[in-house]
Every structure is written in structure tokens, then in C-alpha cells.
Amino acid sequence: MRVSSAARTTLSAAAPSQPTLKQGSSGAAVKTLQQALAKAGFSPGAADGQFGPKTAAAVKAFQSAKGLAADGIVGPKTWAKLNAAGSSTTGGSGPTLKQGQSGAPVTALQNRLNQLGFNAGAADGQFGPKTTAAVKAFQSSKGLVADGVVGPKTWNQLGITVSGTPTTPPSTGGVKGNSALANNARAVAMSMGGYSSQGKCATGVSRAIQNTYGIKVWGNGNQIDDNLPKNKFKQVNMSLADALKIPGLVLTWEKTSTRLGSIYGHTAITSGDGKSSYSDFVEQNTLAAGGRSGLKIFMPI
């Protein structure tokens, strides 16, 4: 059966211009999606009409920022949010953000900064020093106070509206670590044992302290606590779980469950990720390591 030109026009007009899309889709609608994501501050990479992993990641970040289910599938609700974002040519809003926070709003901020040419690094949802530097550079370019805090005036200049509540690290009661010590400790651990203990925890910790402060600390795992210089370290009273959230604290145990550990104890330096610590190797879950006693925790001063 032949279809008239009028009928073809009617069928064409009825075809959806914003169909449901997901990874693996391709065509003009995907290119439209990619352009809308980029305009909203969620870079999907090149607008090439191919719905690949980068586009899927941008969709999920956009959905999270807009309070939608982050499934990576672009249906009516996601299209509606994209259309609303694209119709707003001025202004923007979002929660107050600052260094140390994390979550979907931070990802949206990082995507927008990167899109505008201010290098916030990977859009990983972690508001770290690189994101702070990008925020300050952006604020300076707009004549704002360059304090690195993203408030109403900064969101207005960024021109995107972001929803959601960032995650804020818990209070540490004034205990501060040292990221440089944590970074040096990781480097030493990876050079010595990687993820496997060599039985030389005190050597790893001593090397990290020397690389950071230029001082040598002698002793085995349960002696280092007495040999830490008092003008550089101070003992603090807190739980191991809280200590592991702060980078660069020194941990010492009097005894562990192994034969050598029952004699020499153990020592390590916190990574700050809430789980791992460094000595002569990277211990990926220090909280799960049982059979240790006599814990002491020291903060750099």
C-alpha cells in the first residue's frame, strides 16, 4: 500500500523527537541529548550521537543532581529536567558547597567548572583542593570574593540549578592530620610491600616520617610511640574509626595476634579514607584487623 505525502508528514510529526535513550543508542536524538547535557554542565564528551559510557556517566550525574533515579536511561522525566535546564538562560542556584564535602551536587559543580574552562579535575564528587582552586579562579573571573565557597552568588554566575544535599565529613574534635605525611606513607608502603606485609611496619612508618619532617624515629611498632618527638606529635583520645577518617595520624599498638606482633606490636599511618592505613604495606581495612591491643593515636602538631 502506498502512503501519501500528507500521511507521511503526519507520521513524521507524530514521531517523538525525544525518545527513551540508553547506552547503545545512537542517532540525532542522542546528539541532542549530549548537547543538552553539556549545556546543563554535565559533559558527555563529544556530541557524536553515540550513547557510550561517558554519556551514560553524564546522564547519571545529571539525574542524581536533579533528584531522579540515576539509572542512566533517558525517559520523559529526564528529558523534562533537561528541557527545563536548557530554557533557563540566566541565573542558577544550589546548596552551599565547600572543600571537604562530597556528593552529586559537587559532581555537578565540577562538570560545570570543567565545561567553562576552569579545571576542577575529575568529576568524582569529592570537593578537594583542585576543585577549590577552580572555584576561586572562576569567582575571580566574575568579580566575586574568591573564597572557594560556592554560595548563591557563585551559583548565579555558574548559571545552573542543582538540587541535593552534600555529604559533610563529621567533626573531628579539633584533631588535624597531615596529608603530606599520608601521601608519603602510601608511597613508602607501595615501594616496600604494596598490599602484602613484609613484617617491617616500623621501617615503613619511620621512612614516611623522615620523608615528611626530615627526622628519624627509631624503634619497633610498640616503641615508636615513646620515640615520636614531642614537638612534632601529640597523643589524642579518639576511636580508631574516627582516626581513620583523618589523613596522617600515627597509630601504634602494643600487641597484635601474630607471633612477632605479640612481641613488637604494630604501627601505621592513616590514609584518611575511613578504612585503610600505611606502614610497610597498604592495609585496606584496618578496622577489620582483629587481635590488636594497646592502641595509641598521635596527631602532627
The CATH number for 62's domain is 1.10.101.10
pLDDT-based confidence at 106, cuts 50/70/90?
A: very high
152 and 265 fall within a common domain:
no
One-letter identity of residue 109: L
94 and 185 fall within a common domain:
no
Residue 147 to residues 60, 116, 137, 151, 245: CA-CA distances in angstroms? 30, 19, 10, 10, 25
The Cα–Cα gap between 61 and 123 comes to 9
Residue 299 to residues 172, 242, 264: CA-CA distances in angstroms? 12, 13, 22
How confident is the model over 199-215, as pLDDT tens digits? Answer: 999 999 999 999 999 99
How confident is the model over 94-103, as pLDDT tens digits? Answer: 999 998 888 8
Surface-to-core class of residue 211, CB atoms within 10 Å of its CB (0-12 exposed, 13-18 middle, 19+ buried): middle
Domain extent for 52: 17-87
138 and 58 fall within a common domain:
no
93 and 188 fall within a common domain:
no
165 and 186 fall within a common domain:
no
C-alpha cell at 18: 525525544
Range in 23-32, 37-46, 183-192, 236-245 with the lowest mean pLDDT: 37-46
Q: Is the pLDDT of residue 12 over 60?
A: no
Q: Is the pLDDT of residue 11 over 50?
A: no
22 and 73 fall within a common domain:
yes
pLDDT at 125: 84
Task: State the chain's maximal CA–CA distance in angstroms.
Answer: 93
185 and 289 fall within a common domain:
yes
68 lies in some domain:
yes
Strand order in the sheet with 266-270: 233-236, 296-300, 250-253, 266-270, 277-278, 282-283
Using the 3D structure, point to which of 169, 202, 236 is the last residue of a domain: 169
pLDDT at 270: 95
The Cα–Cα gap between 293 and 257 comes to 9
How confident is the model over 248-289, as pLDDT tens digits? Answer: 999 999 999 888 888 999 999 999 888 999 999 999 999 999
118 lies in some domain:
yes
Using the 3D structure, point to which of 169, 200, 217 is the last residue of a domain: 169
235 and 289 fall within a common domain:
yes
12 lies in some domain:
no
* Cβ count within 10 A of residue 56: 19
The Cα–Cα gap between 21 and 251 comes to 51
187 lies in some domain:
yes
Residue 82 to residues 39, 60, 86, 247: CA-CA distances in angstroms? 9, 12, 6, 39
Which residue would you say has higher pLDDT here, 18 or 135? 135
The Cα–Cα gap between 257 and 261 comes to 6
The Cα–Cα gap between 221 and 263 comes to 9
Using the 3D structure, point to which of 43, 63, 87 is the last residue of a domain: 87
266 lies in some domain:
yes
* Long-range pairs of 98-101 with CB within 8 A, sequence gap ≥ 24: 98/127, 98/132, 98/148, 98/149, 98/150, 99/127, 99/128, 99/129, 99/131, 99/132, 99/148, 100/127, 100/168, 100/169, 101/127, 101/166, 101/167, 101/168, 101/169
198 and 106 fall within a common domain:
no
164 and 271 fall within a common domain:
no
107 and 126 fall within a common domain:
yes
Q: Is the pLDDT of residue 22 over 70?
A: yes
